[in-house]
């Protein structure tokens, strides 16, 4: 049995979708990111000293952290689902390239929009910071949008991979922080298509999202 430590709508959504996609046996333990306590009453910092979600407890008891790594680990746990190209192939490297881009450029590109109020007290400064963050993020999203311009369904082409769950996860944040996905026609379509997957619907329901 796997245990996913998550916070609703956070970057733990991608591994949550992945668990559903793989029909993995798992339980959820919700983390209060302020108090660092889990719903089951555990001190989350003892599970993941870095304090952020996601963390995934494997059936052998070991705990993995880092969204991009958890996604890869699950792909290796369920190889029959073919959600990560075969290690050593060029497609595998390209998929890792996407995971890294999503993690370092997009995921962390969104972070100031959620967290900057903790660092900047001055309202005008905060607003300026958020506006420049949005502009930077939009430049990066434009590049991803252009990648889909050849009508590909997924980042890697015709086949869905772990990178698509992560991309969907971060695109979903746009609506909360005034980064309008509607401005990017291909990403909008990708987001709409992904939203319809049963694994996504199930994850949304469990996390109380709409």
Ligand X SMILES: N[C@@H](CCC(=O)N[C@@H](CS)C(=O)NCC(=O)O)C(=O)O
Residue nearest to ligand X (CB): 52
User: With contact defined as beta carbons under 8 Å apart, do 178 and 135 qualify?
Assistant: no
Among 19, 47, 56, 67, binds ligand X (CB under 6 A): 67
User: If binding is defined by CB under 6 A, does position 74 make contact with ligand X?
Assistant: no
Among 4, 6, 19, 52, binds ligand X (CB under 6 A): 52
Per-residue contact string for residues 4-33; x = within reach of ligand X by CB under 6 A = ------xx---------------------x
80/176 Cα distance (integer angstroms): 35
92/94 Cα distance (integer angstroms): 5
User: If binding is defined by CB under 6 A, does position 73 make contact with ligand X?
Assistant: no
Tokens of 34: 């302020």
User: If binding is defined by CB under 6 A, does position 43 make contact with ligand X?
Assistant: no
Q: Which residues 6+ apart lie within 8 Å of 23 measured at CB?
A: none
User: With contact defined as beta carbons under 8 Å apart, do 181 and 171 qualify?
Assistant: yes
Nearer to ligand X, 10 or 24 (CB): 10
User: If binding is defined by CB under 6 A, does position 47 make contact with ligand X?
Assistant: no
């Amino acid at each position: 049995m796997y245990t996913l430590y998550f916070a609703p709508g956070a970057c733990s959504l991608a591994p949550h979708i992945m668990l559903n996609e793989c029909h993995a046996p798992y339980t959820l333990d919700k983390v209060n990111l302020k108090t660092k306590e889990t719903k089951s009453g555990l001190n989350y910092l003892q599970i993941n000293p870095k304090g952020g979600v996601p963390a995934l407890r494997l059936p052998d008891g070991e705990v993995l952290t880092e969204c991009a790594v958890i996604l890869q680990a699950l792909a290796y746990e369920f190889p029959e689902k073919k959600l990560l190209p075969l290690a050593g192939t060029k497609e595998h490297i390209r998929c890792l390239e996407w995971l890294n881009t999503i993690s370092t450029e997009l995921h962390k590109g969104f972070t100031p929009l959620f967290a900057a109020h903790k660092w900047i007290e001055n309202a005008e400064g905060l607003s300026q910071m958020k506006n420049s963050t949005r502009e930077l993020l939009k430049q990066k999203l434009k590049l991803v949008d252009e990648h889909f311009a050849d009508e590909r369904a997924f980042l890697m082409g015709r086949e869905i991979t772990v990178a698509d769950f992560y991309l969907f996860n971060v695109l979903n944040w746009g609506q909360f922080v005034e980064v309008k996905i509607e401005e990017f026609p291909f990403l909008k379509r990708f987001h709409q298509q992904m939203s319809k997957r049963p694994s996504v619907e199930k994850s949304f329901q469990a996390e109380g999202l709409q």
